[in-house]
A = this chain, B = another copy of it.
Amino acid sequence: MQKTALIMAGGRGERFWPRSRKNMPKQFLSLTDEGKTMIQLTIERLLPIVDVKDIFIATNKDYLALMKEQLPDIPEENIICEPIGRNTAPCIALAAAHISKKYDDAIMMVLPSDHLVKYSSMFQTTLRDACDVAMEGDNLVTIGITPDYPETGYGYIKFVNEYSEGNGRAFKVDSFVEKPDLEKAKEYIASDEYLWNSGMFMWKISTILQKIEAFMPDVYEGIMEIRNALGTSMQEDVLERIFPKFPSISIDYGIMEKAKNIYTIPGTFGWDDVGSWLALERIKRSNEYGNIVDGNIVTINTKNCIIQGTGKLIATVGLDDLIIVDTEDATLICDKDQTYDIKKVLENLKICNRNEYL
């Protein structure tokens, strides 16, 4: 069966402020030592299993120009612009409608645009396995990540740790669980029955449309109306009229928590969701003092800092465990334990109408 992919690239990535901005979200940034942007790396690791003409990208129309600039090989008609962000369920429904216009049926892989994978070939093997499972019946497949530590920032997948006939490396999913507190996360890790929810899914177009019809009938109805208008002069008008009315609901909540026949394949391909500046400690090389340093930097008695500069000189004296990010018009200096509060800076700027910094 034809393989297609949907890359979800509508996110803001506020946690990478001041590098990420409203007009330059995280997926368009280069955060690794390789120099490529997150979305470029996402496409690159997908190309051995999906033809570029079958890679679809859902994004906000504001990012269309950036998308074309960074991904010149993706056909323009494959860039699906949401009029407004409505979380993952309506986004996936819209993309399924697009793909169903192109193919009677096909495998649809749904992938985030701003995560990293260390071992591409293992990633590709896992996705191929997942596609095989997704071809059977009305299976919904999700990639679970074997946890390294009790992370409280991710959702978890509880799975049935038993070999299930005919499904290769896949395990039956028991349930999806919300982000736990630390104690619960520790229990999950100890139990061997939980994986991290990576937000990567595989299914047939026919399957996901059928599930949307079953569990989100209003969205299904709207999406079918949009589908009928695709390729006509009415396309934009219908999309603008209907899409914003959809509820803002995640695919986890809208479908996965309600459907049956859900399988997970554990991925062990060095996944990282690159959720904050702290991720740089995992994905970039540090120097002998534990500093991760880019730019024009002089450090004196400075340890375990993340310093991301530009051409401007940054000199540090006597610092530990700080994140320093310099850009043309803004500098962030943040305690490593308080990256969660970077959003408070943005709230403050919003309140003061200083939109030039958002």
Residues of A in contact, count (CB < 8 Å): 33
Say yes or no: B330 contacts A315, CB within 8 Å. yes
User: CB of A342 within 8 A of chain B?
Assistant: yes
Mask for A298-320, Cβ within 8 A of B = 1, else 0? Answer: 10110000000000111111110
**Is the beta-carbon distance between B315 and A331 smaller than 8 angstroms?**
yes
Q: Check A82 for interface membership: any CB of B closer than 8 A.
A: no
Contact B333 A298 (CB under 8 A): no
Question: Are A326 and B331 in touch, CB under 8 angstroms?
Answer: yes
- Contact A315/B332 with A300-B345, A349-B298 known, Cβ cut-off 8 Å: yes
- CB-defined contacts of A315 to chain B, threshold 8 Å: 18, 330-334, 342, 345
- Residue numbers in B under 8 Å from A298 (CB-CB): 345, 348-349
Chain B contacts of A345 at CB under 8 A?
Answer: 298, 300, 315, 317
Asked if residues A331 and B344 are in contact (CB atoms below 8 Å), the reply is no
Does B318 contact A357, Cβ atoms closer than 8 Å? no
Contacts of A341 in B (CB 8 A): 300-301, 317-318
Q: Contact at B300–A319, with CB atoms within 8 Å?
A: no
On chain B, the residues within 8 Å of A357 by CB distance are: 313
Asked if A322 CB lies within 8 Å of chain B CBs, one says: yes
List residues of chain B with CB within 8 A of the CB of A301.
338, 341, 344
Chain B residue, CB-CB nearest to A313: B330
A337 interfacial contact with B, CB 8 Å: yes
Measured between C-beta atoms, what is the minimum distance from A68 to chain B in Å?
30
The complex is assembled from copies of this chain, and their number is 2
Task: Give Cα A354–Cα B315 distance, bound, in whole angstroms.
Answer: 13
Smallest Cβ distance from A152 to chain B, in angstroms? 19
B residues in contact with A338, CB < 8 Å: 300-301, 317-318
Most buried by B among A317, A318, A344, A348: A317
A329 to chain B, nearest CB (A): 6
Q: Would A317 and B331 count as touching, CB distance under 8 A?
A: no
Is A324 among interface residues, defined by CB-CB distance under 8 A?
A: yes
**Separation of A166 and B96 alpha carbons in the complex (Å):** 101
- Chain B's nearest CB lies how many Å from the CB of A66? 23
A339-358 near B? 1/0 per residue, CB < 8 Å? 10110110011000010010
B317 and A333 contact, CB distance less than 8 A: yes
Bitwise interface map of A from 1 to 29 toward B, beta carbon under 8 Å scored 1, else 0: 00000000000000000100000000000
* Cα distance, A316 to B332, chains bound together (Å): 6
Contacts of A225 in B (CB 8 A): none
Which B residues touch A312, using CB under 8 A?
329-331
**When the two chains form the complex, which single residue of B314, B318, B333 contacts A335, counting CB atoms closer than 8 Å?**
B318
Partner of A314, one of B300, B322, B331, B342: B331
Known: A301-B344, A317-B334. 13 other contacts (CB 8 A): A298-B348, A300-B338, A314-B330, A315-B330, A315-B331, A316-B334, A317-B338, A317-B341, A317-B344, A318-B334, A318-B337, A319-B333, A322-B333
21 examples of A-B residue contacts, CB within 8 angstroms: A18-B313, A18-B315, A313-B330, A313-B357, A314-B333, A315-B332, A315-B333, A315-B342, A316-B333, A317-B332, A317-B333, A317-B334, A317-B335, A317-B345, A318-B337, A318-B338, A318-B341, A319-B322, A319-B335, A324-B333, A333-B333
The 3 lowest CB-CB distance pairs between A and B, nearest first, are: A318-B335, A318-B338, A317-B334
Contact surface of A with B, Cβ cutoff 8 Å: 18, 298, 300-301, 312-319, 322, 324, 326, 329-335, 337-339, 341-342, 344-345, 348-349, 354, 357
